[in-house]
Amino acid sequence: MNLLEIANLKLWDSATGKVIVSNQSFQLKQGSCLAIVGESGSGKSVTCRAIMRLNKPWIRQSGDIVFKGENLTLLPEKEMRKKRGKQLCMIVQNGMTAFDPSCVIGVHLRETLAEHFGWGRNEIEAKMKHAMESVMLKNPIEVMNKYPHQLSGGMLQRVMIALALVLEPDVIIADEPTTALDTISQFEVVEQLIRLRERMGCSMIFVSHDLGVVHKMADDVLVMKDGEIVERGAARTIFSEAQHEYTRYLVSAKRGLSQHFKRIMGRS
């Protein structure tokens, strides 16, 4: 069963008329992880923001985005706001952009959860404390009383994952969630995302240019280039029997880097 169906999605810059994504269609199955891969500028992130209706005002879109049988493109903004977070949750590339820099983290968490559930401060703090501990964040109350700039990128990503645990959305869109992190933090965040899926059974769209991580997480893969989907299929098929020249290039580049790393480590 498809939880999310995108049909003929077109995105363009209204100022220049430039087409960013051209009439693309794909589906997200219930309980599965769909990875969208491709180089920078291929249209991955703008596609995800289109699903959430969070692109800049000058980025126009047409086509249908159907979530659980409801066309999100037809909803008033007030109704769409209710879907964001509670049913469709986005974990962005840079944790600093997800939080208001003028407020401590706890303010953002309390406002979000009060909006969707109507919980009081004590209940929110108890639930967030438990969720933050489960994603290996120490001293959660202390973390909630810090400003975004006082936390590392990895910690901010884990706060967003903890919030997703409490919200229990149907779909999590993780847009390059490890790009801005160091290698150890990348590994930890990927492990937490895998556990999040196992715990909640939610569906996920995972955007990345790191094919190693995609291989570990995804059930299905879309390959994007210049605003078009050039290949799609089960992850194991994409990695072993890629059909499109661009996909083969991405896979061979990943293998080359992996072999180079092994050679370096073998010499040390």
pLDDT confidence of residue 39: 87
The domain in which residue 262 lies consists of 2-267
Domain total for the chain? Answer: 1
pLDDT band for position 125 (50/70/90)? very high
pLDDT, tens digit (0-9, with 9 covering 90-100), for 30-82: 999 999 999 888 999 999 999 999 999 999 999 999 999 999 999 999 999 99
C-alpha to C-alpha distance for 83 and 251, rounded to whole angstroms: 36
The position carrying tokens 């995609």 is: 214
Whole-number Cα distances in Å, 186 to 163, 179, 182, 183, 213: 18, 8, 6, 5, 9
Reduced to 3 states (helix: H, G, I; strand: E, B; else coil), residue 225 is strand
What DSSP state is assigned to residue 84?
Answer: B
CATH number of the domain encompassing residue 237: 3.40.50.300
pTM: 0.88
pLDDT at position 261: 45
* Angle between helices 153-167 and 105-117 in degrees, nearest 10: 20
Contact 132, 162 (CB under 8 A): yes
In whole angstroms, give the CA distance from residue 172 to residue 82. Answer: 15
Going from the C-alpha of 195 to that of each of 90, 201, 202, 205, the distances in angstroms are: 17, 10, 11, 15
Structure tokens at 36: 């969208």
For 53, 83, 134, the CA distances from 80, given in Å and listed in that order, are 8, 5, 29
Task: Read off φ and ψ for residue 55, nearest 5 degrees.
Answer: -70, 160
CA distance 222 to 267: 36
Are 65 and 87 in contact, with CB atoms under 8 Å apart? no
pLDDT digits (tens, 9 = 90+) for 178-235: 876 777 778 888 888 888 888 888 999 999 888 888 988 999 999 999 999 999 999 9
DSSP H helices, the chain, are 44-52, 77-83, 105-117, 121-134, 140-144, 153-167, 183-200, 211-217, 235-240, 245-267
**Is the pLDDT score of 95 beyond 90?**
no
Checking if the pLDDT of 264 tops 70, the result is no
